[in-house]
Amino acid sequence: MASIDYPLEHPKAEALTPEFSFSESLYKWVATVDHKRLGLMYVVSALVFLVIAGIMASVIRMQLAFPLNHVVGPDTFNRLFTMHGTTMVFLVGMPMVAGFSVYLIPLMIGTRDMAFPRLNAFGFWIFLLGGCLLYFSYIGGGGLSGDGSAPDVGWFAYAPLTEKAFSRGAATDYWALGVLLSGVGSIVTALNVIATTFCMRCPGMTLSRMPMFVWVMLIDAWLVLVALPPLSAAQIMLELDRHLGANFFDTQAGGSAVLWQHLFWIFGHPEVYILIFPAFAILSEVIPVFSRKPLFGRPAMVGAVTAIGFISLGVWAHHMFAIGMTSWSNTFFAASSMLVGVPTGIKIFNWTATMYGGKLRMQTPLLFCIAFLLQFLVAGLTGIMLAVAPFDWQLHDSYFVVAHFHFTLVGGLVFGLFAGMYYWFPKVSGKMLDEKLGKWHFWLFCIGFNMTFLTLHFAGFLGMPRRIYTYYPGRGWDAINLIASLGVIPQAAGILCFVWNIIRSSLRGIPAGDDPWDAWTLEWATTSPPPEYNFEKLPVVRSSRPLWDLKHPQDPDWKYE
Amino acid sequence: MAQDNVIAADALQMEREWKLPDRGTIGVIFLIITETALFTMFVAADLIYIGKSLTGPYPKDVLEMPIIATVCLLSSSGTIVFAEHALRRNDLGKFKIWWLVTILLGLYFLYATGAEWHKLIYEDHLTIATNLFGTTFYSLVGLHASHVVVGMTFLLIVFITTIFGFPIQTQERRVKFLSWYWHFFDWVWVIVFTVVYILPLKVF
């Protein structure tokens, strides 16, 4: 009966796509405005940058494995942590946000493309240009010591270190301009996501029936839209300082180095929410499907994510407790930072409650979600600790902070992204990822991650500062650093399993079919991979689980909504 | 079977009644929001640095209120509305006149900014590198003026293509978005004017 809404029989996608030669298909990729191709290109470039920045992290850990080690010198070490941080945030995190959004949102809300397909292509290419510009600095830029290489000012690029007097050569300009360009890409993509969710939903897809993934990515796009321009403004000011002699951050002329910190963290703190939101979005889809239950507390989830979208704009100065603000500022930002923990806690509670009493299917996507819940909980708790100003004074710029934000961004975001990739790979490629390799990937990565970052909390407690390139023996840091460095091995092995899994499964994986997970959102109503036009006939939905309605015509959700 | 038919009829009705906002409208509104965020940071930097210059020239020595230019820019916000109304009534003659008036007002504003900068740079020797006043003045006014230049480019494109016979009536929607953008930068000027001229000259 339900074939009225959207037929389950599809013409085979292969039958409709003729064969192309290599140059023709290359042209099709380069000139495409199709949201699925652009989404894939985003995710693939992000994965390439992930491997590059991961290798940098491994070199950092090799250098720190033993006291007074000499794998790399201090200059190279500065460049390594700068490029590692910048790449991970702007060239891995941001394109993952964009890639998952533009691939999935049109499918999930039942439409054929984004609101502005050409703007979508522009966003991708300008991001890639920004990334290439940043890496071109290895050839074109001069660092602190003046001999051509990458930026060495940290991903936060604090003034006045970035001023012409202290950062000669062009390395810092490559940082500012490369990140500025990729920021423009993020902003236009966010604009596109907002316009798409507001204006392109299929009939019946009201905001209250929209999949949770789309809701979270909508608020994420809002945050990108209001939080990225402060960074762009700061980078424009920095370039004005460096090339036209302006005095924004020039303390000699009365300018303020603290202004940079404010502008940077007005961007920087919402940014960490921008980065973690895709993981929230993915969990909100994967956990219900693998627990065989609808999402617990859907309205509370929407409320919580919207609350984060606003509260997180007012917490930035908790990165700056150590610069000597007034006690009123300290109190305000400590309180607001703790407040933002409340909606986050609601989300953790709702995901746990979704799993509670469910028929759990312990497959790879769910494993990554469970690890996310535990690790992100730890990250949240250490975050609350750091929000207490006196505690932060004690541990500011120590490895405790490093461990904290790697728990959010690796233990949280990266685990969430892996869950999402195992979940949607069948839709994207039409093949299942191998479950056995997936489990290897999960356990290796999970163990390695905790070996590295759980231990680093204790290095922080014992006073090990961030960004040092080496240390003396006998301070109690030796064993911790060795364990942390050894943790790189299982993590790298896990990533290799993943890459091998992707290659092997796309070549000869088990065909997935349209709906391998028995899921409930609209992307599973079309073929795998979806045809260029997504849906032959635009679907009409009546509840937040349209595919449940389709599969259970006797007992559809809309009877209860 | 009877229930299926009811659902089918229901789906058709839902499709007919399904109304969503126009994507251009949403796009322009959020473009303005993101531009607001950018301007806010420059305005904030300006406010922080009022009266913090270590050396002269100071605003009170060299700055004059650009009253005429301000009146011109703000009234161009009105004339572009008249042009829009004329276009909606399909009165192409009036549209061209009001559009041209808008362009001229905008061009005068840009000329006035240029003349002001020329005086400041060559007579008062105030550049972006001189002191904090120069830094914030040129960056904020320059940021605004560069946006006016972008708006002006679009105004000129519309005007020239219309003169050469392009049926602008078919683009009423896009003309509306352009006018929103123009209004936005007119009202940003009110803030810039307050922060750059009124506060340093009259308050501090």
- Structure confidence at residue B11 (pLDDT): 76
pLDDT tier for residue A9 given thresholds of 50, 70 and 90: low
User: What 3-state class would DSSP assign to A165?
Assistant: coil
Beta strand ranges found along chain B (DSSP E):
none
CATH 3.10.129.10 at B23-203, yes or no: no
Cβ contacts (< 8 Å) between B34 and chain A: which residues? Answer: 187, 190-191, 225-226, 228-229
Q: Give the mutation candidate from B5, B28, B30, B49 for the A interface (greatest A CB count, under 10 A).
A: B30
- Structure confidence at residue A20 (pLDDT): 73
- Structure confidence at residue A3 (pLDDT): 39
The reply to whether A497 falls in a domain is: yes
The Cα B56–Cα B46 span in angstroms is 17
The Cα B183–Cα B32 span in angstroms is 10
pLDDT tier for residue A305 given thresholds of 50, 70 and 90: very high
The count of C-alpha atoms lying within 13 angstroms of the C-alpha of A177, restricted to the half-sphere facing its C-beta, is 16
User: What 3-state class would DSSP assign to A86?
Assistant: helix
The reply to whether A507 falls in a domain is: yes
* Mean of per-residue pLDDT scores for chain A: 92
Task: Give the pair of three-digit tokens for residue A103.
Answer: 């691939």
- Structure confidence at residue B192 (pLDDT): 95
- Structure confidence at residue A16 (pLDDT): 52
- Helix H, strand E, coil C: the string for A339-404 is HCHHHHHHHHHHHHHHHCCCCCCCCHHHHHHHHHHHHHHHHHHHHHHHHCHHHHHHHCCEHHHHHH
Task: Give the pair of three-digit tokens for residue A498.
Answer: 């993943």
The reply to whether A22 falls in a domain is: no
Nearest residue on chain B to A540, alpha-carbon basis: B11
The Cα A321–Cα A511 span in angstroms is 54
The Cα B64–Cα B41 span in angstroms is 24
The reply to whether A168 falls in a domain is: yes
Tell me what the mean pLDDT of segment A50-68 comes to.
95
- The least confident of B17-21, B121-125, B134-138 is B17-21
User: Contact B34/A225, CB-based, under 8 Å?
Assistant: yes
The Cα A502–Cα A509 span in angstroms is 9
Residues composing chain B: 204
Task: Give the pair of three-digit tokens for residue A178.
Answer: 């490369």
User: Contact B132/A255, CB-based, under 8 Å?
Assistant: yes
B42 inside 8 A of chain A by CB: yes
The reply to whether A369 falls in a domain is: yes
Which domain range does residue A135 map to?
32-559
Cβ contacts (< 8 Å) between A554 and chain B: which residues? Answer: none
Nearest residue on chain B to A192, alpha-carbon basis: B27
A457 strand-pairing partners: none
User: Contact A253/B42, CB-based, under 8 Å?
Assistant: no
What residues have CB less than 8 Å from A387, skipping those under 6 apart? A318, A333, A334, A337, A338, A341
pLDDT of A14 strictly over 80: no
What is the CATH number for A176?
1.20.210.10
- The least confident of A20-29, A360-369, B21-30 is A20-29
Tell me what the mean pLDDT of segment A92-121 comes to.
95
pLDDT of A11 strictly over 70: no
Task: Phi first, then psi: give them for residue A398, nearest 5 degrees.
Answer: -110, 175
Task: Give the pair of three-digit tokens for residue A139.
Answer: 């050839």
Can you say whether the dihedral through the CA atoms of A84, A86, A89, A94 is positive or negative? Answer: negative
Contacts by residues A359-362 (CB-CB < 8 Å, ≥ 24 positions apart):
A359/A291, A359/A292, A360/A290, A360/A291, A361/A290, A361/A291, A361/A292
Neighbours of A338 (CB within 10 A): 15
* Mean of per-residue pLDDT scores for chain B: 91
What residues have CB less than 8 Å from A496, skipping those under 6 apart? none
User: Contact B129/A244, CB-based, under 8 Å?
Assistant: yes
pLDDT digits (tens, 9 = 90+) for A353-411: 999 999 999 999 999 999 999 999 999 999 999 999 999 999 999 999 999 999 999 99
Cβ contacts (< 8 Å) between B1 and chain A: which residues? Answer: 1
pLDDT tier for residue A140 given thresholds of 50, 70 and 90: confident
A/B interface, count of CB pairs below 8 Å: 121
Share of chain A residues as helix, strand and coil, in percent rounded to the nearest 5: 70, 0, 30
pLDDT of B111 strictly over 80: yes
Q: How many angstroms separate the CA of residue B98 from the nearest CA in chain A? A: 31
The reply to whether A395 falls in a domain is: yes
pLDDT of B163 strictly over 60: yes
8 A C-beta contact, residue B148 and residue B110: yes
- Structure confidence at residue B167 (pLDDT): 86
A133 inside 8 A of chain B by CB: no
Read out DSSP for A461-499? Answer: HTTPBTT-S---SSSS-HHHHHHHHHTHHHHHHHHHHHH
The reply to whether A11 falls in a domain is: no
pLDDT tier for residue A168 given thresholds of 50, 70 and 90: confident
Q: How many angstroms separate the CA of residue B115 from the nearest CA in chain A? A: 20
pLDDT digits (tens, 9 = 90+) for B36-59: 999 999 999 999 999 888 988 999
pLDDT of A19 strictly over 90: no
- Structure confidence at residue A22 (pLDDT): 84
pLDDT of A15 strictly over 60: no
User: B175: closest CA among B82, B87, B106?
Assistant: B87
pLDDT of A147 strictly over 90: no
Tell me what the mean pLDDT of segment A525-550 comes to.
90
Q: What is the greatest pairwise CA distance in chain B?
A: 87
Tell me what the mean pLDDT of segment A28-57 comes to.
95
Q: Is the ipTM of this complex over 0.90?
A: yes
User: A459: closest CA among A471, A448, A449?
Assistant: A471
User: What 3-state class would DSSP assign to B1?
Assistant: coil
Cβ contacts (< 8 Å) between B135 and chain A: which residues? Answer: 240, 246-248, 255
User: Contact A259/B26, CB-based, under 8 Å?
Assistant: no
To the nearest 10 degrees (0 to 180), the angle between helices A94-108 and A415-429 is: 40
Tell me what the mean pLDDT of segment A21-33 comes to.
88
pLDDT tier for residue B1 given thresholds of 50, 70 and 90: very low
Tell me what the mean pLDDT of segment B105-109 comes to.
96
- The least confident of A147-161, A272-286, A307-321, A410-424 is A147-161
Can you say whether the dihedral through the CA atoms of B33, B35, B41, B43 is positive or negative? Answer: negative
pLDDT of A505 strictly over 60: yes
A255 strand-pairing partners: none
pLDDT digits (tens, 9 = 90+) for B50-97: 988 898 899 988 998 999 999 999 999 999 999 999 999 999 999 999
A398 strand-pairing partners: A465
Percent of chain A clearing pLDDT 70 (strictly above): 95
The Cα A96–Cα A99 span in angstroms is 5
pLDDT of B189 strictly over 90: yes
pLDDT of B103 strictly over 80: yes
- Structure confidence at residue B75 (pLDDT): 95
How many domains are there within chain A? 1
User: A244: closest CA among B151, B50, B101, B130?
Assistant: B130
pLDDT of B119 strictly over 90: yes
Q: What is the greatest pairwise CA distance in chain A?
A: 76
